[in-house]
Amino acid sequence: MSAGFVVVVAIFAFALVTIWKGVRIVPQGEEWIVERLGKYNSTLHPGLNIVVPYIDKIAYKVVTKDIILDVQEQEVITKDNAVILTNAIAFIKVTDPVKAVYGVVDFAEAIRNLIMTTLRSITGEMELDQALSSRDKIKVRLRESIADEAVDWGLTVKSVEIQDIKPSASMQKAMEMQASAERERKAMVTRAEGEKQSMILQAEARVESARRDAEAQVTLAEASSEAIKRVAQAIGDRDTPMLYLLGEKYITSITHLAGSENAKMIVLPADVQEAVRGVLGRFKA
């Protein structure tokens, strides 16, 4: 093999390597950062691009498609000292690759930590109930808070979604105990209120019953008085009406006694009228 052939082969190989190093095909959805002698030189866009071999270097390959960042779950202490767990997911896009690679060491990690810090700050200003029910409000404030920082890093924050906000395990147990105690308290109040109303109604019923009994006794007394007057007017004797009424009550009492379950034998006097006279005579004596 002659020396000339070797030289030709070497030149041909050098040309191929030079062409390979000088031609760059950038895929869609990416932009490449070119450094020349260690300094930023240009940005390669999707398609066929030519660089200076051996001098230019592809330093960074930046994805310009939307990037999904999962923000890990973290504990946050609210304004009323409750511990909640929250996590989020962010959608960002690189709009300036130069700022993205030279403005911060790792823009994805920077945005993730910025979201975590800002989320803690926002929820820390809220009380527990407000934090649990204000997911949309937290999302808007979070996006607004990190937008300026993201622009400085050549990024656009398209959306930040709060995946979950929930009390910690110990906080959930405390809330369950509190809810149980509140339900028990309401049940006791309801039960006491029912007993109170029942006692009031019973007392009112007793008052009404006593009032009606009194009215009935007055009515009976008036009826008895009227009956005595009429009997006295009809007979014209002072003792006879009294004998009549006492005899009537005597017979009624005997009737009730005879109807009693404990009654074995009832002995009636032969002369009821004389028996009543005897009772009346003892009253007179």
**What is the band of 233 on the pLDDT scale with cuts at 50, 70, 90?**
low
**What is the band of 138 on the pLDDT scale with cuts at 50, 70, 90?**
confident
pLDDT at residue 153 is higher than 70: yes
Write out the two tokens for 271. Answer: 């002369």
Rounded to a whole number of angstroms, the distance between the first and last alpha carbons of the chain is 173
CA 148-92-89 angle, to 5 degrees, is 105
pLDDT at residue 231 is higher than 70: no
pLDDT at residue 217 is higher than 70: yes
Each residue of 93-122: b (16+ CB within 10 Å) or e? ebebbbbbbeebeebbebbbebbbebbeeb
pLDDT at residue 28 is higher than 90: yes
**What is the band of 81 on the pLDDT scale with cuts at 50, 70, 90?**
confident
Average pLDDT of span 187-208: 84
Give the span between the Cα atoms of 24 and 171, in whole angstroms. 57
Give the span between the Cα atoms of 38 and 218, in whole angstroms. 121
More confident residue, 220 or 43: 43
- Specify the DSSP class assigned to residue 238: S
More confident residue, 179 or 134: 134
More confident residue, 173 or 81: 81
Please list, in sequence order, all residues whose beta carbon lies within 8 angstroms of the beta carbon of residue 282, skipping any fewer than 6 positions away.
Answer: none
pLDDT at residue 130 is higher than 80: yes
More confident residue, 181 or 277: 181
pLDDT of residue 59: 92
pLDDT of residue 250: 62
Encode pLDDT of 116-129 as tens digits.
999 888 888 888 88
